[in-house]
C-alpha cells in the first residue's frame, strides 16, 4: 500500500501538486501514529522538491538579498512549526488530523479561484515586509502539517509582489523545499521518522516524480488535480466520519 502511494505522490507533485494527500493517509492506514506519519511523509516527499527548484532557478529574479530574506523567513517558520508539532500531544494531533486534512483539501480545491482573486488584488510593486511576515506564518503551518501550503504561498506572492505565475512558482518551490527540508531534519534529529517505511517510499516517490514529469507532456494537469481532489475528499470524509463516531 505504501509504495504505490509514494509513486502516486511523486507523480502528483510533478503533475499538479498534492502528493501529501496520497502519502500521509497511506502511512496512517498502515498503522503509523499521526505525528510519525506526518514526519515520515515530509521526508518521503522532500527530495522531489530539489529537482523542481533546479528547474525554476532562472525564474528567481527579485535579487539575492530578497531571496535570502525569504529563505530565512521560511527556515525560521519551519523550525517554529516543527517544534510546535513535536510539543503537540499525540492524542491532540490525532483529533486535529481530520480538520487539518479538511482545511488543506479546501485550499487545494479553491486554489485556482484564490489565485484569480489574488491576481485582481495584486500590488503594483513588491512589498517586502508583508512578504516576509506572510512567508514566516505560512512556514509555521508548513512545518506543522504543510498540505496545501503551496496555494497559500502563491496567493501571498501574487497579492504582495504582483509576481506572474512562473516567478511565483519558482519562489514557492524554493521556499517550500526549504520548509520541508528544515522540518525533515528536525524530525530526523528528534527520531520520529519511520525509516523502514520512509526510505523505500522516498525511492518510490522519486521514481513517481520522474514518470510524472514524463506524463506532464501528455496529460492535462487540471485532470490530474481533479483526480487528486476526489481522492483527498474521500479520505477527508472518512477521517471526519471516524473521528465523530
Over range 6-23, report the average pLDDT: 78
Burial 38-47 (b: 16+ CB within 10 A, else e): bbbbbbbbbb
Q: Which of 7-21, 171-185, 219-233 has the highest mean pLDDT?
A: 171-185
Contacts for 205 with CB less than 8 Å, ≥ 6 apart: 6, 7, 9, 10, 19, 23, 44, 45, 47, 48
**pLDDT tens for residues 21-50?**
889 999 999 999 999 999 999 999 888 777
Q: Which of 13-22, 79-88, 146-155 has the highest mean pLDDT?
A: 79-88
Q: Indicate the domain borders of the chain.
A: 2-244
Question: What's the chain's average pLDDT?
Answer: 83
Burial 185-205 (b: 16+ CB within 10 A, else e): bbbeeeebbbeebbeebbbbb
**pLDDT tens for residues 112-153?**
787 677 667 655 556 678 888 999 999 999 999 988 788 888
Could you tell me which of 238, 244, 243 has the C-alpha nearest to residue 93? 243
Confidence of residue 230 (pLDDT cuts 50, 70, 90): confident
Give me the residue label for grid cell 517544534.
83
Q: What is the DSSP letter of 148?
A: T
Confidence of residue 165 (pLDDT cuts 50, 70, 90): low
**pLDDT over 70 at 62, yes or no:** no
Contacts for 127 with CB less than 8 Å, ≥ 6 apart: 160, 161
Give pTM, 2 decimals. 0.83
Confidence of residue 72 (pLDDT cuts 50, 70, 90): very high
Residue 148 CA, chain-centre distance (Å), reads 6
Over range 96-105, report the average pLDDT: 89
CA distance 130 to 19: 28
Confidence of residue 226 (pLDDT cuts 50, 70, 90): confident
Can you say whether the dihedral through the CA atoms of 27, 31, 35, 40 is positive or negative?
Answer: negative
Q: At what angle do helices 149-161 and 165-189 cross, to 10 degrees?
A: 140
**pLDDT tens for residues 179-201?**
989 999 999 999 999 999 999 99
Amino acid at each position: 500500500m505504501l509504495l504505490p502511494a509514494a509513486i502516486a505522490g511523486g507523480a502528483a507533485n510533478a503533475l499538479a501538486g498534492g502528493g501529501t494527500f496520497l502519502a500521509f493517509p497511506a502511512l496512517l492506514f498502515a498503522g503509523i501514529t499521526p505525528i510519525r506519519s506526518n514526519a515520515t511523509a515530509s521526508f518521503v516527499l522532500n527530495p522531489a522538491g530539489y529537482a523542481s527548484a533546479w528547474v525554476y532557478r532562472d525564474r528567481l529574479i527579485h535579487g539575492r538579498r530578497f531571496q535570502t530574506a525569504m529563505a530565512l523567513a521560511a527556515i525560521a517558520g519551519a523550525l517554529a512549526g516543527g517544534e510546535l508539532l513535536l510539543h503537540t500531544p499525540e492524542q491532540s494531533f490525532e483529533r486535529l488530523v481530520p480538520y487539518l486534512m479538511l482545511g488543506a483539501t479546501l485550499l487545494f480545491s479553491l486554489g485556482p479561484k484564490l489565485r484569480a482573486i489574488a491576481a485582481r488584488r495584486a500590488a503594483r510593486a513588491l512589498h517586502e515586509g508583508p512578504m516576509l511576515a506572510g512567508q514566516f506564518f505560512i512556514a509555521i503551518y508548513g512545518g506543522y502539517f504543510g498540505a496545501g501550503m503551496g496555494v497559500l504561498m502563491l496567493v501571498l506572492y501574487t497579492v504582495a509582489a504582483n509576481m506572474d505565475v512562473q516567478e511565483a512558482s519558482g519562489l514557492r518551490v524554493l521556499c517550500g523545499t526549504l520548509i520541508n527540508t528544515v522540518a525533515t531534519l528536525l524530525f530526523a534529529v528528534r527520531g520520529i521518522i519511520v525509516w523502514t517505511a520512509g526510505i523505500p517510499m522516498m525511492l518510490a516517490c522519486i521514481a513517481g516524480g520522474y514518470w510524472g514529469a514524463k506524463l506532464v507532456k501528455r496529460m492535462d494537469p487540471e485532470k490530474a488535480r481533479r483526480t487528486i481532489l476526489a481522492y483527498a475528499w474521500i479520505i477527508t470524509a472518512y477521517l471526519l466520519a471516524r473521528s465523530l463516531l
